[in-house]
Structure 1
């Protein structure tokens, strides 16, 4: 029997939205998978041909692109940032909704007009998306790469503005920041390694179709 395919799932808030999809497809992870306190990284399921790994969102795309995992779920923000040619994203799962936005201190925003920007210094974990966005507007962007705690960067003088994921906007507000531009709307996508899609089609193709039916059904409801 062939080894099980590896399905990469991101840690964090999106996990709660992924579990009902698995349940609807008859995929039951072992109990530790849904336990936020578990330090395990790989998990069995009720299907001998599917195992799961739970990793950081940015790492999901890397695992699948390099073939260490064959299938995954990841935000469109990660796909846009890395743009791996090895990845195929056949289904928008219509979960994990948020946006990538430019934010700055509220006091600055009160007197600021984004249409007049010519150069910006931005703290972000999305330098690729950020540069592309500002280049399209004819604005020179100096990006300071951070992996977290973006909101503190303007307070400490590291950068005037940030580009980050925004959901409710609460974190921005609590740190004295406001959104001034939305770069892109984000949702979670099912991704597949292109080579694995050919070599493991017997397992992967029905998975893709199952997720597509779920998503189409939810939209039609």
Structure 2
């Protein structure tokens, strides 16, 4: 018996944007998937050949890279950070629009010139991307790894700056921070395990085509 294809989906905001794409691709999760009180992480769908798992956004890429899931929905911020060679990202789904940015306290930004930086201490959950960005500009970046509450770091003296995802900028503003540099524009992609793409080519290719058509048929989410 052929095992179902497993699609890894991220929890949170991107999941809400991904659900219309799933529906347009002909995939309807079981009712428990929409139950916010449910602690289940693996779900069946209207298709016996497709199952869903719901995990943290950073873990989607890991599940797909190691073959535990054959496909997933993942922001290119995560793809940049981990740079898994086992992952193929064939479709920009045009959802999850935001940017990966450098931010600092507003009072510092008032007199700061990023072109003059030589050494920075940065709180971020993207240490690899952050170091590469600053190294390309000849700046030494000391990264403090955090998984959340990044905006607290400057106020509490943990770092002078942060690198984090920014959408509306409201969270930065409420914590006295402003964007000073944009590292990358971010959207969510359909990602595929390269081995599965070869060994289960007909199924995986059909799924890629379904998502490509679904993404093309939805209005711009920007």
Task: Check whether the contact 1:6–1:51 (CA below 8 A) recurs between aligned residues.
Answer: yes
SS of match in other structure, 2:138: coil
> Residues 180-219 of structure 1: matches in 2 within 5 Å?
180-218=180-218
> Residues 129-144 of structure 1: matches in 2 within 5 Å?
129-144=129-144
Instruction: Give the whole-Å Cα distance in 2 for the aligned partners of 1:19 and 1:108.
Output: 41
SS of match in other structure, 1:181: strand
Task: Check whether the contact 2:75–2:186 (CA below 8 A) recurs between aligned residues.
Answer: yes
Instruction: Give the whole-Å Cα distance in 2 for the aligned partners of 1:169 and 1:32.
Output: 33
C-alpha displacement of 1:214? 2.2
The answer for unaligned runs of 5 or more in structure 2 is none
> Residues 1-221 of structure 1: matches in 2 within 5 Å?
1-218=1-218
Instruction: Please report the RMSD computed on the Cα atoms of aligned residues, expressed in angstroms.
Output: 1.1
Instruction: Give the whole-Å Cα distance in 2 for the aligned partners of 1:35 and 1:14.
Output: 17
Instruction: Give the whole-Å Cα distance in 2 for the aligned partners of 1:116 and 1:219.
Output: 41
Q: Which runs of 4+ in 1 moved over 6 A?
A: none
Task: Check whether the contact 1:49–1:203 (CA below 8 A) recurs between aligned residues.
Answer: no
Instruction: Give the whole-Å Cα distance in 2 for the aligned partners of 1:153 and 1:36.
Output: 31
Aligned length: 220
TM-score with structure 1 setting the length: 0.97
**CA offsets, 1:23-73, max 9 Å, x none?**
111111011212333211000001111000000000000000000111000
Task: Check whether the contact 1:93–1:189 (CA below 8 A) recurs between aligned residues.
Answer: yes
Task: Check whether the contact 1:134–1:141 (CA below 8 A) recurs between aligned residues.
Answer: yes
C-alpha displacement of 1:198? 1.2
TM-score with structure 2 setting the length: 0.96
